[in-house]
Each structure stands twice: as C-alpha cells, then as structure tokens.
Structure 1
Amino acid sequence: MKLAICGGTGFIGSHLSEYWAKQGHEVIIVTRKASDHHPESIKYVTWDDLNSNPHPLESLDAIVNLAGESLNQRWTKDTKSKIRQSRLDSVHRLGDILDRLTNKPKVVVQSSAVGIYGTSRKDTYNEYSEVASIDFLSDVCVQWENAALQRFNNTRLVLVRTGVVLGSKGAYPLMQLPYKLGVGGPIGDGEQWVSWIHMNDMVKLIDYAVRTPDISGPVNATSPHPVANRDFGKTIGRVLHRPHWFPVPSFMLKTMLGEMSILILEGQKAVPDKAQECGFQFDYPRLDDAIRQLKNS
C-alpha cells in the first residue's frame, strides 16, 4: 500500500511509520522540515513541498493526520491558541492539498481525542455518545472534528479519538517515575477515570481502520477496560514491585500545572465499542499486561 502520515515524526507517528515500513509498504511522512537521517524505506516531504507540488500524495491508499501542538505544556492564553489553531490549520492545509489531487486517498484517518466527551466520574462514553463544547479540550476536539468533516467529505473518514497512549515515551514514563522512586500514589482523590491504550494497539487500530472499509466516523482508541486513577497507580506499583501510598493533593497539581492539571485530575470513561463491533482484537486489553510488556521491553 501507499500510505502517508502527517506528523509522522511524533510519538504515535514514528511507531506507525516503522510498523508500516516493516510490512513493506510505501510510507511518506509529511513534516515541517525534512530530515537527512531517516530509513531508506521511508520518504520525507515537507508541507511547503506539497504546496508547490501535491503529486507525491496521488493515489494514496490512506493518509493519517496526527499533526498538532502538544498538550503537555502549561496552558497560557497563547499556548491554548496554538493548541487549537495548530489542529485546525493542519486539517485545512491538508484539505487544500488533497483538493488539488486527481486521485484522492481512499481513506483519511484524522486524529482526535476522548477529551471531546468532556469529563465525568459516572458516565461511560462510546462513539455514539453526544459531544458538546463544555470545556477547553472538548471545544478544541469538536472544532477539530468538524473541520475534518468539512474538508474530507469526499472520501471515507475515520476520526480516531485517542486516550492516554502507553509507550516507552510520552506520558507513561512520567506516570511510572514516582513509583520507581518509591513515592507513587493516587492523584487527587484517585477516582477520576483513565482511558488508556497500549502503543502497539494504537498502531494496530489505525492500521485496522485503514484496512476495514466498514469503519468510518468516530472510533475510540482506548482499551475496553478503562480504570480509575487509583487502580492505575496500584497496577503500576504491583507490576514494578513498588508501594502505592503517597497521595498527590489536587491543589499541588493545580498550582504547578494550572489549567493543564485537568488532564490528570479529571477524565472520562471511554470504551471502544465501534472497534470491537468491527472485529478488532486488542493485544493488551488489560492494564496489567500492558504495564508488564512496557516493563520488559
């Protein structure tokens, strides 16, 4: 297959490009600045190159758009604007390029997030749940998805709503660090939900969505077994043989992180009903196995 990834040098994109390259596919990474050091099996092209000549993206089997400013920084007014605008800009920029193609991609896989559901301690959200702009993250995600629905309306579109992705980089190393230091414990009251997915399943799910014509619209990229923060921490401690005892007060995180603390102190219970209805099988559906694999990798 001929496949392209916008944001292919990032946390998820780098794993996805490696996975597809190993399968022998033609992989194109769309990035802001091309690297001189990359595998020969992967082609790099810049956004500016494509603005001048979109031909490299002709006749794609799929294009995956993962581009966007990181959420993992203090949410100042300026930063929040960059987070929102970078996501919208990537959609419209890609839409402008695809509009000029003679043979458009068979499917567009657009990144989104489970933050679109807002936060709740009691509700469970699947792909058929209603969404609304009730806080910063949900508002960004609603605008993000609406832009994709507008710009990619002439092909199959999959909106991958991602939870916390567990891998050797990203959030997980920071989440396990207190336990390695012997001071792990619940964050806040520990009752907030963590909707998570192992990186291997994240990559496989995107690949499955590309290969499965019946999948379109929102897809929750989360394990079928979300857990409360308290249980998430207990699992890390159990697998790493470290204590789970030292609570982190909410006010401390709010002081340190500001509004961004909502990523840790609040959450939502999102489940992947659509993926399972379409036959997707998780390699790591349960947290114990996911943490154990990361420990041994």
Structure 2
Amino acid sequence: MKLAICGGTGFIGRHLSEYWIKQGHEIIIITRKARTNQPDGIKLVTWDELSSNPHLLESLDAVVNLAGESLNQRWTKDTKPKIKQSRLDSVHRLGNILDQLTNKPQAVIQSSAVGIYGTSRKDTFNESSEVESIDFLSDVCVQWESAARQRFNTTRLVLVRTGVVLGNQGAYPLMQLPYKLGVGGPIGDGEQWVSWIHMNDMVKLIDYAVRNPEMSGPVNATSPYPVTNTDFGKTIGKVLHRPHWFPVPSFMLKALLGEMSILILEGQKAVPDKAEECGFQFDYPHLNDAMYQLKNS
C-alpha cells in the first residue's frame, strides 16, 4: 500500500511508520521542516513542498493525520489557542492538498481524543454517545472533528478518539516515575477513570481502520477495560514491585499544572464498541498484561 502520515515523527507516528515499513508498504511522512537524512523505507516531504506539488500524494491508499501541538504543556491564554489552531490548521492544510488530487486517498484516518466526551465519574461513553463543548479539551475535539468531517467529506473518514497511549515514551514513563522513586499513590481521590490503550494496539487499530472499508466515523482507541486511577496506580506498583501509598492531593496538581490537571484529576470511561463490532482484536486488553509487556520490552 501507499500510505502517508501527517505528524509521522511524533510518538504514535514513529511506531506506526515502523510497523508499516516492516510490512513493506510505501510510506510518506509529512513534516514541517526539511531533513537531510531520509530514513530507510520512508519518503519525507514538507507541507510547503506539498503546497507547490500536491500530486506527490496521488493514489494513496490512506492518509493518517496525527499532526497537532502536544497537550502535555501548561494550558495558558497563549498555549490554548495554539493547541486548538494547530489541529484545525493541519486538517484544512491537508484538505487543501487533497482537493487538488486527481486520485484522492481511499481513506482518511483523523486523530481525535476521548476528551470529546467531557469528564464523568458515572457515565460510560461509546461512539454513539453525544458530544458537546463543555470544557477546553472537548471544545478542541468537537471543532477538530467538525473540521475533518467538512474537509474530508468525499472519502471514507475514520475519527480515532484516542485515550492514554501506553508506551516507552509519552505519558506512561512520567506516570511510572513516582513509583520508581517509591512515592507512588492515588491522585486526587483516585476514583477518576483512565481510558488507556497499549501502543501496539493503537498502531494495529489504525492499520485495521485503513484495511477495513466498513469502518468509518468515530472509533474509540481504548482498551475494552478502562480502570480507575487507583487501580491504574496499583497495577504500576505491582508490576514494578513498588508500594502504592503516597496520595497526591488535587490542589497540589492544580497548582503545578493549572487547567491541564483535568487530564489527570478527571477522566472518562470510554469503551471501543465500534472496533469490537468491526472484528478488531486487542493484543493487550488487560492493563496488567500491557504493563508487563512494556516492562519486559
């Protein structure tokens, strides 16, 4: 297959491109800056190059858009517009390029997040759940998906609503750190939900979305078995042979992270009904197995 990845040098994008290279696919990674070294099996092109020569993306089997500013930064009056606008800009910029193609991609796989559902301690969210702008993150996601539906309305569109991706980079090493230092414990009251997915399943689910024409619309990229923050921490402690005992008060996290603390202090219980209905099988549906695999990898 001929596949393109926007944001292919990021956390998920690197793993996805490595997975597809091993399968022998032709990979194009769209980046902001030119690089002198082209990785084996990958063609790097910049957004500016595509603006002048969009036909580099002719006849793609699929394009995956993962581009956007990281959420893992303090949400200030300056960074919040950048987080939102970077996502909208990537959608519109890609849309402008695809509009000029003679042979458009057969599918667009667009990144989103389970934050679109807002936060809740009691509700369970699947792809049929209503969404609305009730806080910063849900507002970003609602506008992000709305822009994608508008710009990619002539091809099959899959909106991948991602939870916490567990890998050897990203958020998970930071979540492990207090336990490695012997001071791990519940955050806040520990009852907030964590919807998570192992990186291997994240990559496989994107690949599955590309290959399966019956899959379209929103797809929750989360394990079938979300857990509470307390259970998440206890599992880290078990895997690392460290205690789970030192609580982190909510006010401390709010003081340290500001509004971004909602990512840790609140959450949502999202389940992957669409993926399972389409026949996708998780390699690591259970947190214990996922964490042991990462420890031993």
Q: TM-score range by the shorter chain?
A: over 0.9
Q: Residue 158 of structure 1: SS of its match in structure 2?
A: strand
1:54-94 superposed Cα distances (whole Å, 9 cap, x missing partner) = 11100000000000000000000110000000000000000
Aligned to 1:34: 34
Mark the runs of 5 or more structure 2 residues left unpaired by the alignment: none
The one-letter code sitting in structure 2 at the alignment partner of 1:33 is: K
| 1:44 equivalenced with 2:59 (yes/no) | no
Counterpart CA distance in 1 for 2:179 and 2:287 is: 16
Q: Residue 78 of structure 2: SS of its match in structure 1?
A: helix
CA-CA distance at 1:38 after TM superposition: 3.7
Aligned to 2:275: 275
Aligned to 1:159: 159
Counterpart CA distance in 2 for 1:86 and 1:8 is: 15
Counterpart CA distance in 2 for 1:36 and 1:160 is: 32
Alignment of 1:12-27 (within 5 A): 12-27=12-27
| 1:187 equivalenced with 2:187 (yes/no) | yes
CA-CA distance at 1:39 after TM superposition: 2.0
Q: Residue 191 of structure 2: SS of its match in structure 1?
A: coil
Counterpart CA distance in 2 for 1:8 and 1:60 is: 16
CA-CA distance at 1:36 after TM superposition: 2.2
Aligned to 2:121: 121
What percent identity do the matched residue pairs reach? Answer: 85
Aligned to 2:223: 223
Counterpart CA distance in 2 for 1:263 and 1:208 is: 28
Counterpart CA distance in 2 for 1:71 and 1:42 is: 27
Aligned to 2:174: 174
Aligned to 2:106: 106
Aligned to 1:70: 70
Counterpart CA distance in 1 for 2:228 and 2:97 is: 42
Aligned to 1:84: 84
The one-letter code sitting in structure 2 at the alignment partner of 1:268 is: Q
CA-CA distance at 1:37 after TM superposition: 2.8
1:114-169 superposed Cα distances (whole Å, 9 cap, x missing partner) = 00000000000000000000000000000000000000000000000000000000
1:172-230 superposed Cα distances (whole Å, 9 cap, x missing partner) = 00000111111100000000000000000000000000000000000000000000000
- How high is the TM-score relative to the length of structure 1? 0.99
Counterpart CA distance in 2 for 1:128 and 1:274 is: 9
Q: Residue 35 of structure 2: SS of its match in structure 1?
A: coil
The one-letter code sitting in structure 2 at the alignment partner of 1:290 is: A
Moved over 4 A (4+): none
The one-letter code sitting in structure 1 at the alignment partner of 2:144 is: W
Aligned residue pairs total 297
Counterpart CA distance in 2 for 1:277 and 1:38 is: 39
CA-CA distance at 1:292 after TM superposition: 0.2
| 1:250 equivalenced with 2:269 (yes/no) | no
Counterpart CA distance in 1 for 2:97 and 2:48 is: 10
Mark the runs of 5 or more structure 1 residues left unpaired by the alignment: none
The one-letter code sitting in structure 2 at the alignment partner of 1:82 is: K
Q: Residue 133 of structure 1: SS of its match in structure 2?
A: coil
Counterpart CA distance in 2 for 1:290 and 1:213 is: 28
Counterpart CA distance in 2 for 1:165 and 1:139 is: 21
> How big is the alpha-carbon RMSD for the aligned residues of Structure 1 and Structure 2?
0.5
- How high is the TM-score relative to the length of structure 2? 0.99
Which stretch of structure 1 is more off in the superposition, 33-42 or 150-159?
A: 33-42
